[in-house]
Structure 1
């Protein structure tokens, strides 16, 4: 049994170097880069549609209380700022051609990675606080039309949803995105090193 454990330990320490050409690596990352761009574009589209829907509600529906107007204004401002930040980051990964300039794309990807960390850290809490304030002001008028049970359900579901998004969902998204971007950066570093040091025959 001890011999088996030693063999298993040696096997785990043994690293097999798989040689993949820069062209093959570029083909591998092509799908990942396109997936990253698509996800980024869908995030921007979702935020833009949210902005339009809330703005349309504000324009076409009559509200009596000034607090509702304040709440919708805060919400629209938060969504607008967040959408602009998402668009700025999207341009980082969409503007360079990674097949022609992998080193330039690598540096843009590293900036994108840092921006995403900021987005999910301090900027996320700004967004959450702004949305919460907007909803509080909005609910002042809306809750006045509901019964006590409906008020409790509406506030309870809103609080639970925000807690879920701020904890479990946020952590899962951050973890998945960190791994995905780190893997892409690692692949582009390999591509850059293979291009700068061509294989010897």
Structure 2
């Protein structure tokens, strides 16, 4: 029994070094990059859909108040600007092939990470303030057509949603994306190390 305990203790102390080939690691990293590109592309598509919806509303609906036109102009402008920023960041991770230009891709990934940090911090607050201002101008005319209860619900739901997105949802997205991109950068650095250093 004592021999068994010694063997078990030895086994628990023994650490197995798992060697993952550069090829396997590259396949995993490429899969994660494709997921990142897909998520980024879906964000762009969502922003474009919002842009088109607001532009269609502006074109096909008749508004009497100048405030409504100002509100829609602000909303369309900020959504358009944000969409261009998202597209610029998407190009960073989509245009370079890691296998052909590993260092350039790694630099692009680090720039992407930095851009995302700016996007979710200072640029996000600019976006939220501009969007809120646009909604306020838009609501000046629109709320006149609603009952008091409908007005209260529209204001509560709209600004409640903005508050939820600005706090809880934003923090969760920042944390998840930061971990994901950092892990991806680490993987590509290890792959670069394995490719440049012969085993």
When normalised by structure 2's length, the TM-score is 0.91
Task: Calculate the aligned-residue CA RMSD, in Å.
Answer: 1.4
**Map of 1:122 onto structure 2:** 122
Q: CA deviation at 1:170?
A: 0.5
* Distance verdict in 2 for CA 1:17–1:104, change over 3 Å: farther
SS in structure 2 at match of 1:96 = coil
Number of corresponding residues:
189
What residue in structure 2 maps to residue 3 of structure 1?
none
Taking the aligned partners of 1:195 and 1:185, their CA distance within structure 2 comes to 15
Aligned residue number for residue 189 of structure 1 = 189
Between 81-90 and 96-105, the greater mean CA deviation after superposition: 96-105
Return closer, same or farther for 1:142/1:183 CA change in 2, 3 Å cut-off. same
Extract unaligned runs of 5+ from structure 1.
1-6
Specify every segment of 5 or more residues in structure 2 that has no aligned partner in the other structure, as ranges: 1-8
Correspondences of 1:1-201 after superposition (within 5 Å): 17-199=17-199
- Contact kept, 8 Å, 1:102 with 1:191, in 2: the verdict is no
Distance 1:137 1:122 in 2: 23
Contact kept? 1:44, 1:83, Cα under 8 Å: yes
In 1: Cα distance, 2:23 partner to 2:138 partner:
54
Contact 1:41 1:90 in 2 (8 A): yes
Conserved 8 A contact 1:103-1:188: no
Deviation at 1:83, TM superposition (A): 0.4
Is the 8 Å Cα contact of residues 98 and 105 (structure 1) preserved in structure 2?
yes
CA distance in 2, matches of 1:15, 1:147: 69
CA distance in 1, matches of 2:132, 2:97: 40
